[in-house]
Structure 1
Amino acid sequence: MISVQQWTGHEASALRAALRMSMRAFAEHLGVALRTVAKWEKLGPDTVPRPDTQAILDTALARADASTRGRFEALLSGSANGRARHSLVRTADYETWTEDIDRAIACLSRQNFPFASNLLNRWLGRHDARALDDKGLYLYGRSLVLLGDLQRDQGSTLGPLSARHSYNTARSLFIEIDIPRRVAQIELSLTVLDEMSGRLEASARQYERLATDERLSGRDRARARLWVGTALSKDGNNDHAVKVMTAATHDFEDLAEPEDWSVAHQKIALAYRGANDLTRALQYIDIARSTGTVDSPMQRVRLGTAHGHILLSDPATRNDGLSVLDDAAQVARQYGLSHQLRSIEGIRRSCDSPPAALSR
């Protein structure tokens, strides 16, 4: 059986890879601090564990099964040139993975879900996260987040093949490799899922917390403030929602984010509709329709749904509203936007009841 005369960070890292464990899992397996394992990974042969830790590593290797010891020996027995070639292969592999992530982002912006899914799953299916280094874990986490975005847009929010599951798994990885900004972004995405699921009060509170979270960028904090208003509006608190979302529009203007500014006007329009002020609702939806810079299928459906909802609220424009919703539903079906389709169907059902008196 292979033995190690003196452990360095290089041998310790090789044992972790052979065990196919993440750094956190390896630290727990040995009973040492995560920062100790991180030091081994960073310094490699330039760091030597303490004598008591050397004994812990000896025990871990002795208790490993035959396949693990075989992988460990193979990792150590390669020549320096062999290790260099392996490093180059890994670097090239990661570069290709990064390129596929960029391509998947472009596909998602166009709601090309099948191609985006293929790009992401080819890597998620190829790698075991427990065997990846920090760079690999980062790419794995990014891929999971994008897969979660895809699942969310398709309306899959619960279960083992859902956006929630993908986001939570990615969140655990980013906590492990200590990237707080990514963790906070995922918490924002999880709050969106809560709102989609009807947990409006809880999601509003979480949005308020994230709106002041320094882990997030200024744009993400402004989005959180906007979504506070969205949750309030869905819960019927439309006057307060308008004030909160109007403040968010100022943030987007200061940040020079025209698309977010346009989306904010769309959401304000719906809050005014909820407050029975159709005149302002139509004013704001017209601003949103004329100022948007991204003509993606998703945004076309969202704008059409909001516009149709407002038009349906007035008996005089009911037929126009139904026509606008029909167009939005057709695009939603074409691109597999199941959640948007359900929203459109819900609006139609709600408008089958006798309309309430609305102010113009």
Structure 2
Amino acid sequence: MNPVTGWTGETACALQAALRLSNESFAEHLGIGVRTVAAWHQKPTLRPKSEMQQLLDTAFEQASAAVKERFAALVGNPAPPAQDAKATDAEHRLSADPNISAALDWLDKHTGQPAGTARRDVASRLASLDVRALKDRAARRSRVNQRQVADALRQYYPDRPDGFGYYTARHVGPDAVTSILTRPEWLDLDCPLIVGHDSLTLSGAAEQDLTLDEQAAERAAQRLAETLALGTRLVDMPLYRLTGIDVSHDTIGGSLGISRFIRYALTMDLLEGELVDTLAAGQLPQPGSSPLRDRHLPDVSAVLDVSKRLCAGGTLALCAIARPADPFRGPADYVLLVQERSAHVVNAARQLAVIPKGFHQPLTDYRADARIGATLRREMEEELFGRDDIDNTVSHQRVADPMHPSRLSEPMRWLMARRDRLRIECTGFGLNLVSGNFEFPALIVVDDEEFWTRYGGIIEANWESSTLRQYSTLDRPLLTELISDVAWSNEGLFALLQGLRRLGQIGGDRVDLPTIEWEIS
């Protein structure tokens, strides 16, 4: 690998060989799709984008001395001295990644500091970071479960306006308690995500200015240093922000503005880490002792006043695909897909979630893409059907219409030709008190058994997932255990519960689901 020009497909494959990993294992090691690794083998002169360069840099930096020696022998270059590797890597990332540069510029602007201040601060922090200590912290964070998070936030926000409460579900197991603030009118929407029902609109409202105090600026700079050290993907993409809510049965409406992912990642998204670190230390977050939460989401009125804060979020769907009867598996059913999120994602890392799951953001048509259904269809293509070209963390978007019928994957093209066999509905709405995000849980149902017969074997989660699990809608005991698993993200559990409720109404003989009744407490 040339430290000036960076990685190529050939040198990436050399690193894979030095690590002695298969395509699948190397992809998992980097947190990327197997298709990307295969592309490096097919195109040795291919120069991966800056995000991939960072992941390869990190993998090389963290490799053993023996691996670095094998890599040097394969590429014909001596390995860099161990004591200089981190400094070289830090300089490369800070100077070469346009997304990090955008974040540094944003930080300078919103702290009122001279240009270049944030870059020097982040470089200094990165040089002193201990990656092993960060991984130890990640292990401590992983021990904080969904129920602990939900209970802590209920105590932090004890007061709720009339009609609002936390989403709780009763079933045969322990009550499923979440951090989702909602109301009865926002649940069981049964809203088809088509024109006339899916009616979020782009308002063009200007985003409020923001000035970071010293403490908020330090947390943001530390977040950037840790992002670089751990190889977490961070892309400065446009992001919808909710500015008005108008949700009722059969219709989802409201207004949206535009923000940037960098602003979210360096402000609202930091609240989760602050909360989980407090819980991991055996303490409870209290008003006055949680600086970021006190600043951005001090009370429930601030949570509900979405027009005066950054309220980002998205949609996630319980995916149910009809399967024919099988002599080994049993009667005809639906297969449900559940993911464990990768450690490389910014949101809900290492937690269980339904799939697909994505931030609500535009591709190229900002007004048409404002509909929730547009994000769900895109996420199906990206997270289930392998469309890397619409993953804006991997490549820039230069296509005029990325979701044009001529560009769809074969499975999606098949579904679009049989729309009467595809049901996509929004099942609810809520505001997640973890980071103040808006959540639109949904249900995707494929009613034609032929789809699973044709395409079940090629459905494959992308880099955002570390594992993909399947559950049968006839396996009531296992689904009951799944609901009770404390590894869920709060929004993932919300989507699972609302999706199972709706599927129980429409699934017929293919389902034998736990009985779920919600309450707002």
Say which structure is richer in helix: 1
TM-score by length of 2: 0.24
Comparing both chains, which one has the higher relative contact order based on Cα–Cα distances under 8 Å and sequence gaps of 6 or more?
2
Say which structure is richer in strand: 2
Structure showing greater radius of gyration is: 1
